[in-house]
Amino acid sequence: MNGFKNLNGHTVRSDPSGPPLERRPPAIGRASPSPAAVRRRPRHIHHRQVLRRGDRCLPASAVSKKLAFDLIRSTRLTSDLWELVCTGIRTDLDFPDPDVTAAAISILAAIPSHRLGKLIADSNKEISSCFDSPSDNLRFSITETLGSILARDDLVTLCENNMNLLDRVSAWWTRIGQNMLDRSDAVSKVAFESVGRLFQEFESKRMSRLAGDKLVDSENSVAIRSNWVSSMVDFVWRKRNTLMARSLILPVESFRATVYPLVYAVKAVASGSVEVIRKLSKSSKSANTNPLESGNAERFVGASDVVSHLAPFLASSLEPALIFEVAINTLYLADIPGGKPEWASQSIIAILTLWDRQEFSSARESIVRAVVTNLHLLDLSMQLLIPKSSKQFIDFALMVNVGNSMTHTRLV
């Protein structure tokens, strides 16, 4: 015999020079696999791919969930498919792994408006519990996602016709405000951004109404949004010292997100505009029933404290965008009753230092507008301190049509 049998029952030649050997026929009752089946058979299966818990496969990981939700965002789904997605989201919101829940929370922003209200109603308890999660990632996800959803026009419209939904959303805005003091820097930053987005949306709607825009919110929508804003202004005003302290221990690149929410709320109280906002929210059934009361002295001291809080960043910051953000918002405070010209002068001087910064050259038009439109906040003696010798600045200012004939008189 010129060979031996291997494990498959085939005879293997031991002497290549010998005559050809016949292969052993297959066992009765067991057909040989076809060549195509052999090619399709995987060469190696990792042990993680066949792990099972009882008779059920292990659930998908957070990574696979995120990939699936990313695919959903970029795909046009039918109504039936959205129903399946919403069912999966409701399941994942109660999942033991907080990273999986965070992935499910993040997809809420992509849910169509007509399905969002029902999903929120069905999963209110699970969504609210995310704010109390020990997982920083989950608290970040719920704050970021709801911060972008709750300020949207479509959600405000849903709240007009659903008081239960309005109560839930109002409670979530309260939790988002509280998260500005969260122990996690990432959560705190995104909470500041969410509150700033709420204020910016309200201001843009208000300016649209003043400009006579016909596509404005209904009276009920204005009342609902005004109630959220007035409540948030009250919270920021009461917690302003704690919020300023929290912002100072954030990374420098995150500090910028804290500036506008603080300044907007403090100016709303110091200037008295929060009273106007409250009047707009009177028609809302959930309007704030305990508005804060502050004397003129307390209002001025509060504004002065914020200016002192921001002042170091006008001189020491190496980031032009942060200098500009702080300067613009300090000018915003200088316009309140009792505001000091010194607040405006240090801001304008800081803005002018950006004129020759190469990395900020694309924002020169913004610099000109900021300087020219706020010159009235300065004393005449301080206006003379503006470097008029910069012919390039003057020429650029004249080239940019800022909208009034006083530009030339003020600058030259």
Judged against a pLDDT cut of 50, whether residue 3 lies above it is answered with yes
Smallest CA-to-CA distance from 326 within 252, 391, 275, 389 is with: 252
Smallest CA-to-CA distance from 86 within 64, 113, 59 is with: 113
**Predicted confidence band at 354 (pLDDT cuts at 50, 70, 90)?**
confident
Highest mean pLDDT among 47-51, 72-76, 389-393: 72-76
Q: CA 328, CA 345: separation in Å to the nearest integer?
A: 11
Task: Determine the angle formed by the axes of helices 62-73 and 98-106, rounding to 10 degrees.
Answer: 0
For residues 53-89, one letter each, b for 16 or more C-beta atoms within 10 angstroms of the residue's C-beta and e for the rest, the string is eeeeeeeeebeebbeebeebeeeeeeeeebeebbebb
54 against 3, higher pLDDT: 3
Q: CA 374, CA 347: separation in Å to the nearest integer?
A: 10
Judged against a pLDDT cut of 90, whether residue 237 lies above it is answered with yes
Neighbours of 371 (CB within 10 A): 23
pLDDT over 70 for what percent of the chain?
Answer: 71
- Which pLDDT belongs to residue 375? 79
Give the tens place of pLDDT for each residue, 377-395.
887 777 666 655 455 566 5
* Poorest-pLDDT segment among 192-206, 258-272, 352-366: 352-366
Whether the CB-CB separation of 181 and 188 falls below 8 Å is answered with yes
Give the tens place of pLDDT for each residue, 281-333.
864 444 454 555 667 889 999 999 999 999 999 887 678 889 999 999 999 99
**Predicted confidence band at 132 (pLDDT cuts at 50, 70, 90)?**
very high
Q: Hunting for tokens 């979530």 — which residue is that?
A: 172
Judged against a pLDDT cut of 70, whether residue 343 lies above it is answered with yes
Neighbours of 378 (CB within 10 A): 18
- Which pLDDT belongs to residue 147? 94
Give the tens place of pLDDT for each residue, 31-41.
555 555 545 55
Judged against a pLDDT cut of 60, whether residue 400 lies above it is answered with no
Q: CA 287, CA 112: separation in Å to the nearest integer?
A: 28
Sorted by where each begins, the domain ranges of the chain are 60-142, 150-294, 311-412
Q: CA 3, CA 202: separation in Å to the nearest integer?
A: 88
- Which pLDDT belongs to residue 6? 55
For residues 384-406, one letter each, b for 16 or more C-beta atoms within 10 angstroms of the residue's C-beta and e for the rest, the string is eebeeeeeebbeebeebeeeeee
Asked whether the whole model's pTM tops 0.85, one would answer: no
**Predicted confidence band at 204 (pLDDT cuts at 50, 70, 90)?**
confident
Q: Hunting for tokens 């603080």 — which residue is that?
A: 262
Whether the CB-CB separation of 320 and 359 falls below 8 Å is answered with yes
Whether the CB-CB separation of 355 and 390 falls below 8 Å is answered with yes
The mean of the pLDDT values for the chain is 79
For residues 169-178, one letter each, b for 16 or more C-beta atoms within 10 angstroms of the residue's C-beta and e for the rest, the string is bbebbebbbe
